[in-house]
Amino acid sequence: MKRLFHFVPRLKLVLASLAMFGLVREPIEQRMRARLIEANLLLPPPAQTAFEQMSQSAMMGTLGGLRTLVATYLTLEAFDYFSTKSWDALRQTYQIIVDLEPRDESNWVSAIWHLGINATANMEYNDRLPKFERERRFREYAFAGIAFAERGIAQLPDSVAIRLQLAEIYRVKLQDNCATARVYGDTIGRPGALGYVRRFYGYFMARCPGKEREAYDYLISLYREGKQQHLPTLIKEIKNLEVKLSIPDRERIPDPDPDLPRPAPQSQPSTPLPGGIMVP
Amino acid sequence: MNSSPPTEKADSGVQTRHVPLFSLGRVLTITSGTVTQLFRMKVFYFLFAFALVMVAAGNFSLPATPAQELSTIKKVSFGTMDLFAWLFSIVATALLIPRDQEDRTLYTILAKPVRRIEYLLGKLGGVLCVVGLSLLVMGTICAITVGFRESLLVSEEIGAMQADGHFAPDEVNQQIDLIRHQGLRPELALVVLAYFFKAAVVAAVTLLLSTIASSSLFTIIVSILVFLIGNAHALATGFWLQESGNSWVVRIVVKVVKVLIPDFQIFAFSEGIVQGEVVPYWLVGEMGLITVGYLLVFLLLSLLVFVDKEF
C-alpha cells in the first residue's frame, strides 16, 4: 500500500476512487430519483421557463436545495403584490411558484383566485383606468386565471379545488353558463367532490342555450333520487324548464313554485285549557 | 507523527499487551469526547435562532384557508430545519480536526494506540450524535408549533361551521380532515430522518475535505460549494444542456460533476412527506442504505488521506 502511495499522489487516488464510486452510484440514484418522483415524494426538475423567469437569488435558493422555502417566500411576495394590486407582478410570481411546486394544489388555487377573481374585480372598479382598458384587462386576467387552471388540471388531474375555482371564474366573472356547467360536470365523481356539484351542473346546464332538454332530463333524474334532492333551486329550475320545454301538465312535478308566496298555515282549533281558557 | 503500532509496551519493556485492531470502545470514547467538545463550543445557540424563526412562522397571517395556512407554516418550519441541519453539519465537522490540532489534543490521541480509522469514525459519530440531537430538538419545536396551530385552526373552523348551521356533520368532518391532513402527523418524523440522512452525507463529505484542507474556513467554503453543486446538478442539467444546444463539452462537464459530486437532491424526498403524500417506507429504507453507502465510502476516502498524514 505504501508503495502505491509512493507512486500515485494521494489526491489522484481519492479522485479516482470518487469517480469509481460515482459511476457505481449514478445509475442507482437515477432509478431512485425516478421512483421518488413517481411516489410524489420528490419534485421533478423545474420547467425551463421557471429558470428563465427566476431572479438570481430565487434561482440560487432553488438550486441550493431550498426549493420549498423559495416557493414559500415567493408566496409571501405574491401576497405583497396582492396588497398593492400589482397584478402583473403577481402573475409572474405565481408562474414561478407553480413551476417550483407543481404538486401543491393550494398554489394553483391561489393563482386562479388572485387573477380570476381579485384582479378582475379590481378592473371592474378601478376608476383610474379608462373603460376600454379596464374591460381589456378584465378579460386578460380572467383568461390568465383560466390558463393557470388548465395547467393545474393537467398537473393534478383529480383536483376538485382547482375545478371549483375555475368554475367560479366562468360563473361569476365571465357569466358563461355553458362553460360553468362543463367544469361542474367534469368535477362530478372526483375524490372529495361535494354533493352540490351535481346539482350545480344541472342548474348551469339549464341556462346554457340548446342544452335545456338535456338539463331537464338530468335535473328530473336528480329529483327522482328522493326527498333529499327536493331543494328549492332544483324545483325552481325544473319548473322553469317545464315551461320552456312545454312539458305536459301530467308530467310536471307536483311541488309548488318555491318563489310563490306559501299559503298561510291553517290555524288549528285550540284545545281549551282547564277552566275554559282558550289559547289563541 | 506517524500512526502508532497497535501494541503497548509495559514500563519494564518485557511485557507487551495486544491491542485489538479495532475497538468500538475507543471509537465511543472519541465520539463522546467530540460531543462534549461541540457542546463546549456552544453550538446549540443556533437553536434560539431556529426558535425565533418558528415563532415568526407560527404567526403568519395570510388570506388563505386554514389548510393552506398550516401547509405554509409547515413548509417554512421544516425548510428552515433542513437549512440549519446541513449548515450545522458542515460547520461542526469542519471545525473538529483543525481544533484538535490547535489544542494539541490530536497529538495526544494519536500518540496512544488509537487507529486513525477509529479517530475519524469517532469524530464523525460525534458530529452525527450532535446533529441527530439538534434535529430532535428542532423537530420537537416544529411539532409543537404545527400542533398548536392545528388545534387552534380546527377549533376555530368547527366553531365557524357550527355557527353557520347548515353544514351536515360529515361535511364538518370532511373539512376538519382537510386541515388535519396538513397538520401534525406521525409521518413527519420521517422528514426529520430524511434531514438526518442528508446531514450525515454532508458531514462525511466535509470530513473528507477536512482531511485534505489546511484550514476550517477553506473546508467550510468548499463544503458549502460542493453541497450547492450537489443540489444543483440534478435540477439544472436539463437546463444547461438545452441552453447549450446539447453541446458535447457541456455533456462532459455535467458527467464529471455528476460522478465526482454526490447527488444531494435525492435527499429532498422529505418535501413530498411535508406536503402530505403517502410514504412508501421501503423507499425511506433504501435511502437509508444509500446514506450508509456514502458514509462508508467517504470515511474510507478520508482514511486514505489521513492514514499517514504528518502533523
Instruction: Specify the 3-state DSSP secondary structure of B9.
Output: strand
Complex ipTM, two decimals? 0.82
Q: Fill in the amino acid letter for A197.
A: V
At B10, is the pLDDT very low, low, confident or very high (cuts 50, 70, 90)? Answer: very low
Is the per-residue pLDDT at B7 higher than 80?
Answer: no
pLDDT value at residue A192: 83
Does pLDDT of A182 surpass 80?
Answer: yes
| Confidence at residue A280, expressed as pLDDT on a 0 to 100 scale | 55
Residue in A closest to B285 by C-alpha: A32
Q: Is the pLDDT of residue B14 over 70?
A: no
CA distance B249 to B92: 37
Per CB-CB distance under 8 Å, the chain B contacts of A69 are 75-76, 79-80, 83
A72:B275 CB<8 A:
no
Mark yes or no for CB contact B235/A62 under 8 Å.
yes
Q: At A273, phi and psi to the nearest 5?
A: -80, 165
Residue A63 has what pLDDT?
67
Cα–Cα distance measured from residue A209 to residue A214, given in angstroms and rounded to the nearest whole number: 11
* pLDDT higher than threshold 80 for residue A261: no
Instruction: Please report the sign of the dihedral spanned by the C-alpha atoms of residue B109, residue B112, residue B116, residue B121.
Output: negative
Q: Express as a percent the part of chain A with pLDDT over 90.
A: 45
Find how far residue A34's CA is from the centre of its chain: 28
Nearest CB to A65 within list B265, B273, B308: B265
The most confident of A217-221, A260-264, B177-181, B267-271, by mean pLDDT: A217-221
Q: Which three cell numbers mark A184?
A: 361542474
Residue A163 — left, alpha, or beta (φ > 0 → left; ψ -120 to 50 → alpha)?
A: alpha
Q: Is the pLDDT of residue A198 over 60?
A: yes
In chain A the first and final C-alpha atoms are separated, in Å, by 112
Mean pLDDT computed over every residue of chain A: 85
B219 contacts B250 by C-beta, under 8 angstroms: no
- CB-based contact B83 A5, cutoff 8 Å: no
CB contact under 8 A, A48 and B239: yes
CA distance B188 to B150: 14
User: In terms of CA atoms, which chain A residue is nearest residue B171?
Assistant: A194
Partner residue facing B266 (CB), from A32, A40, A82 = A32
Q: What distance in Å separates residue B16's CA from the closest CA in chain A?
A: 26
Question: Would the pTM of this model clear 0.90, i.e. be above it?
Answer: no
Chain B residues in contact with A94 by the CB 8 A cut-off are none
A101 CA: distance to closest CA in chain B (Å): 10
Average pLDDT over residues B148-156: 89
Give the tens place of pLDDT for each residue, A100-146: 888 888 899 999 999 999 999 999 888 887 888 888 999 999 999 99
Helical H segments across chain A, by residue range = 2-7, 10-38, 48-53, 56-63, 67-83, 87-100, 105-112, 120-125, 131-155, 160-168, 177-187, 196-206, 212-223, 232-244
Is pLDDT larger for residue A107 or for residue B65?
A107
What is the rounded distance in angstroms from the CA atom of residue A128 to the CA atom of residue A262?
48
Can you give the pLDDT at residue B63? Answer: 62
| pLDDT of residue B129 exceeding 80 | yes
Beta carbons of B292 and A1 less than 8 angstroms apart: no
| Percent of residues, chain B, with pLDDT higher than 90 | 34
Q: What integer pLDDT is reported at residue A274 of this predicted model? A: 64
pLDDT score, position B1: 43
* Cβ-Cβ contacts under 8 Å, A19 against chain B: 259-260
Q: Do A82 and B268 touch (CB under 8 A)?
A: no
**CB-CB under 8 Å, B67 with A68:** no
pLDDT tens for B211-267 read 988 788 999 999 999 998 888 887 777 777 777 788 888 888 888 988 999 999 899
Q: Would residue B104 be called left, alpha or beta, if left means φ above 0 and alpha means ψ between -120 and 50 degrees?
A: left
- Residue of A17, A43, A110 lying closest to B271 (CB–CB): A43
Q: Which one is predicted more confidently, A229 or A271?
A: A229
- Measure A122 CA to nearest chain B CA, in Å: 17
Residues A121, A124, A127, A128, CA torsion sign: positive
B18 membership: H or E segment, kind and range: strand B16-18
CA distance B303 to chain A (A): 10
Q: Which of A95-99, A123-127, A253-257, B15-19 has the lowest mean pLDDT?
A: B15-19
Greater pLDDT, A56 or A112: A112
Name residues 12-71 of chain A within 8 A of B (Cβ): 13-15, 17-19, 21-23, 25-26, 28-29, 32-33, 35-36, 39-43, 45-46, 48, 51, 60, 62-69, 71
Which stretch of DSSP H or E encloses residue B7? strand B7-9
pLDDT of residue B128: 95
Q: Lowest-confidence range among A52-61, A112-121, B34-43?
A: A52-61
Q: What is the DSSP string of B140-189?
A: HHHHHHHHHHHHHHHHHHHHHHHHH----HHHHHHHHHHHHHTS--TTHH
Q: Which of residues 75-104 of A touch B (CB under 8 A)?
A: 75-76, 79, 82, 101, 103-104
Task: Kindly report which listed range (A61-65, A276-280, B199-203, B296-300) carries the lowest average pLDDT score.
Answer: A276-280
Residues B277, A66: C-beta atoms closer than 8 Å: no
